[in-house]
Structure formats: structure tokens, C-alpha cells
């Protein structure tokens, strides 16, 4: 039976996310800290409900639009979610404290013809994103892509090969009562279809595994770092890819983790200690022209630019993104500046990988095309050939590796959406 405190807590949390600027996961963490009496099961229920509301917001608002209510927008969305997607009754909503007409929502669900709804409502996409995806992919593939984006992501893990093989890590998790399957593409990936308390396992505490989407793992493989090289992760953030790069180098050479956020880089330090890695130097920079960047010009073997982007490829995990105002043009300008600056670090023969977790052509192909047109010393490489050397084979290679780039899509690969292009500096 639906409990009044849970309904109210879910609506309160959803309202905070919709009205704030912080990511949903950060808002959720603050909410649960402020309500310490909520048990693990209740927190799980609230979190699942709120994330479902965020994924299906446009459909749920449409569904509830005929409900007379004195409640908040968030309350109406949560109520519609509970009726349409969790089979709650109008009476249950009233008992839980919903101040609107729950019965009318129930009746609308019963009589709704999904095929007659506007396409953006059917797919739960804002118009700005829907238009771009339709232009790029056409309606059929956009429908499939949207359906995948509206599903929760799997829990993907990367094995730290400094400490364990994939088989050893899988066995460790099985002993903890958390069986996993092997990821189909990444040779160091493990996957769970259901969420699990991974961070409380011995496997995690001992540094055998890290949480990382399979698609993200492939970006480090594209970089193909080697032992004793000098490598830069130009937009390192909290260092997920940095850790993978350092492990691929067998804890040798030097990996520089650059980011403009010292706070994000601080989160890397305990992860390095847990992973048993000491070949990483984290460097907080002011901007892409920082003197600490310029000092390394022409000295670096490989550079990864996982550029700041719209994040549209991660909507399975971050559904709140699609309801926020995103200035794609401003992002593109930033991406071009960062890529150009990062490229100056490479020595002749060095490799540059430009990547985003965006689905949008403007942030991907267009940025790379502009860079190659203005930097003739760089030539694109075949992602298919690089990944083949790492024993990675993707299906539908013609579509996924168009023009040499790597393109990962949730409905095709079961990963987050990623784009990546590897390039070599010839002179």
C-alpha cells in the first residue's frame, strides 16, 4: 500500500530537482541526508519513482493535464507516474495525500490512445532534442533510441587489471551474492542487470573493480596507451578514464589528469589509492591555456579529450538533463577551443582522441571536421582497426564506425551514447 510519507517525499524531491540547477543524483543525496529516518527500502522506492518521473515527465504531465488539483506540479507528475506506471488507484493516491482528482487520471490512463499523442509526448523528449534526433536518425531509429534512453541503465563495472583478472573479479562478486555477466565488447567489463550495493563489497574496497559504463571503457582502449609513455587525460573529472588509462599502462609512465575543477580531482585521490596506482598526477588548471598545460607542449604521446558536452547519451542515468536549458552552440565553441589546445601537447606520431557522451552531430562530427580542416598535421585513424587490436568487435560496423569514428548508441549496444574519433599527429 502506498504510504503518505513516501508520496510526499518523492514529490518534494522531484520538485527540488525540477527547480534547481544541481544534478538529480546530488539533489537526491541531499534529500536523503535531510531525512535520515527513511530506511533503505523506502529510499530505493523514492529514488526509483523520481527517476521514472524524470524519464517520463512529458508523458506524465500530458496524462495529468486534465486533473483538477491544488497540488504542486511535482505532486501531479508523481501521482500520474504511480497510476500509469505502478498501477496505483485513485483511492490510494487520495489516501497518500494527493490533493487532485486521482480518479480522473486513472480514467485517462484507461482510455488513452498512445498513437494519437504528439511524438514528443510519446517519446518523452523535449522538442529541441526531438528535432535534432529526427534529423540525424529518422523517426524509426529515433523511436528505438528514445525507448532505450527511457529505461534504467545497467550497472557496468570495469575490472582493475593491476589487481585481478575479469574472471577473478567476477568470482569475488559471486561470493558476495552478486553474480555478474561479461560485457560483450569491453574485455575488462562486467555487468549487472539490477542495482546492487557494490561499494560495500570487498571486491570494491580492495580495488578490484570500478563502476564505469562499458562505452566509457572503450574510449581508453581507443587511446591505446603504452608502458612508459606520457599521457594526458585533458578533461579528467573524477578520473574514471584516468584510472583505466593508468592500468592499461601497467602503472608505468606518467598520466596527467587535467581538470578545471579541483573538487572533482580530489575525488580521484582515494580511487588511485584503492586501485594501487601511483603513475597519475592530478593537475587543477585554470583553463585550457594554463601555463601548466603549455609546459607540456610537444612532449606528450597520447591525449584523451572527453569534452564537456550536452550529456544526451547518458539520459538513462541522468534523465533530468533533457529538461534543462542546454546551450549547444556554446558547448560547441568550448569543445573546439579545448580540442585545439589539447592538440598542442602531442609530439609527432602522437595520438589524440576526441570524445563526448553526446548524441548530437554538432558536438561530434562537426567539431572533428572543423578541427581537421584547420589542423592539417592531424589525420583520422580507423576506430575499427584500433579496437580490433584490443579484441573488440562491434556489430553493424558500417553504421557504428562511419568515417572512422566510434559511435555507441543505447538501443544498439546497451551502453551509454558515445562518440569518439582517434587522430594522429604526423608532424
List the one residue out of 361, 369, 398 whose CA is nearest residue 383.
398
Asked if CATH classification 3.40.50.150 holds for the domain at 214-425, the reply, yes or no, is yes
In angstroms, the Cα distances linking 384 to 368, 401, 405 are 17, 7, 8
Does the pLDDT at position 322 exceed 80?
A: yes
Band (140; pLDDT cuts 50, 70, 90): very high
Question: Is 53 annotated as catalytic?
Answer: no
Domain boundaries in the chain?
Answer: 4-117, 120-150, 155-208, 214-425
Q: What is the mean pLDDT of the chain?
A: 92
| pLDDT at residue 85 in the model | 85
CA distance 55 to 70: 24
| pLDDT at residue 396 in the model | 53
Written as nine digits, the cell of 54 is: 524524470
**Would you give the DSSP letter of residue 313?**
G
The per-residue pLDDT for range 65-122, each reduced to its tens digit, is 765 555 578 888 998 898 888 888 878 888 887 877 778 888 888 888 888 899 999 9
The per-residue pLDDT for range 379-406, each reduced to its tens digit, is 999 999 999 999 998 875 555 556 789 9
| pLDDT at residue 335 in the model | 97
| pLDDT at residue 400 in the model | 59
- pLDDT over 90 percentage in the chain: 78
Across the range 152-163, mean pLDDT stands at: 97
Does the pLDDT at position 184 exceed 80?
A: yes
Asked if CATH classification 3.30.70.1170 holds for the domain at 155-208, the reply, yes or no, is yes
| pLDDT at residue 92 in the model | 81
Across the range 169-195, mean pLDDT stands at: 95
User: Which region holds residue 31: left if phi is over 0, alpha if psi is between -120 and 50, else beta?
Assistant: alpha
Written as nine digits, the cell of 99 is: 490533493
Amino acid at each position: 500500500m502506498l504510504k503518505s510519507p513516501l508520496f510526499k517525499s518523492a514529490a518534494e524531491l522531484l520538485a527540488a530537482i525540477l527547480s534547481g540547477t544541481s544534478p538529480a543524483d546530488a539533489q537526491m543525496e541531499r534529500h536523503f541526508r535531510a531525512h535520515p529516518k527513511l530506511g533503505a527500502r523506502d529510499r530505493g522506492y523514492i529514488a526509483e519513482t523520481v527517476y521514472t518521473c524524470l524519464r517520463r515527465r512529458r508523458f506524465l504531465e500530458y496524462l495529468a493535464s486534465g486533473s483538477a488539483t491544488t497540488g504542486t506540479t511535482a505532486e501531479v507528475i508523481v501521482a500520474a507516474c504511480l497510476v500509469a506506471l505502478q498501477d496505483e488507484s485513485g483511492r490510494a493516491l487520495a489516501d497518500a495525500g494527493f490533493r487532485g482528482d486521482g480518479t480522473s487520471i486513472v480514467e485517462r490512463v484507461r482510455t488513452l490512445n498512445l498513437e494519437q499523442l504528439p511524438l514528443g509526448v510519446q517519446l518523452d523528449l523535449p522538442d529541441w532534442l526531438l528535432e535534432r534526433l529526427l534529423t540525424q536518425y529518422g523517426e524509426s531509429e529515433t523511436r528505438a533510441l528514445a525507448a532505450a534512453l527511457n529505461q534504467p541503465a545497467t550497472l557496468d563495472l570495469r575490472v582493475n587489471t593491476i589487481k585481478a583478472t575479469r574472471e577473478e573479479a567476477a568470482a569475488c562478486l559471486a561470493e558476495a551474492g552478486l553474480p555478474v555477466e561479461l560485457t560483450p565488447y569491453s574485455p575488462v567489463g562486467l555487468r549487472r542487470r539490477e542495482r546492487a550495493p557494490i561499494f560495500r563489497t570487498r571486491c570494491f574496497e580492495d580495488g578490484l573493480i570500478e563502476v564505469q559504463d562499458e562505452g566509457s571503457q572503450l574510449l581508453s582502449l581507443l587511446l591505446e596507451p603504452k608502458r612508459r609513455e606520457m599521457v594526458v587525460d585533458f578533461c579528467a573529472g573524477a578520473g574514471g578514464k584516468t584510472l583505466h588509462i593508468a592500468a592499461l599502462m601497467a602503472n608505468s609512465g606518467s598520466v596527467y589528469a587535467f581538470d578545471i575543477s579541483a573538487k572533482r580531482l580530489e575525488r580521484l585521490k582515494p580511487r588511485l589509492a584503492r586501485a594501487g596506482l601511483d603513475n597519475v598526477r592530478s593537475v587543477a588548471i585554470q583553463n585550457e591555456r594554463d601555463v601548466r598545460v603549455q609546459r607540456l607542449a610537444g612532449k606528450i604521446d597520447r591525449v584523451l579529450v572527453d569534452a564537456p558536452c550536452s550529456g544526451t547519451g547518458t539520459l538513462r542515468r541522468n534523465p533530468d538533463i533533457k529538461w534543462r536549458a542546454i546551450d549547444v552552440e556554446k558547448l560547441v565553441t568550448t569543445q573546439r577551443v579545448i580540442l585545439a589546445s589539447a592538440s598542442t601537447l602531442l609530439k609527432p606520431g602522437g595520438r589524440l582522441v576526441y570524445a563526448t557522451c553526446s548524441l548530437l552531430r554538432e558536438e561530434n562530427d562537426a567539431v572533428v571536421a572543423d578541427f581537421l580542416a584547420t589542423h592539417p598535421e592531424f589525420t583520422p585513424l580507423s576506430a575499427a582497426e584500433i579496437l580490433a587490436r584490443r579484441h573488440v568487435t562491434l556489430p553493424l560496423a558500417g553504421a557504428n564506425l562511419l568515417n572512422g569514428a566510434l559511435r555507441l548508441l543505447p538501443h544498439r549496444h546497451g551502453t551509454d551514447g558515445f562518440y569518439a574519433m582517434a587522430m594522429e599527429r604526423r608532424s
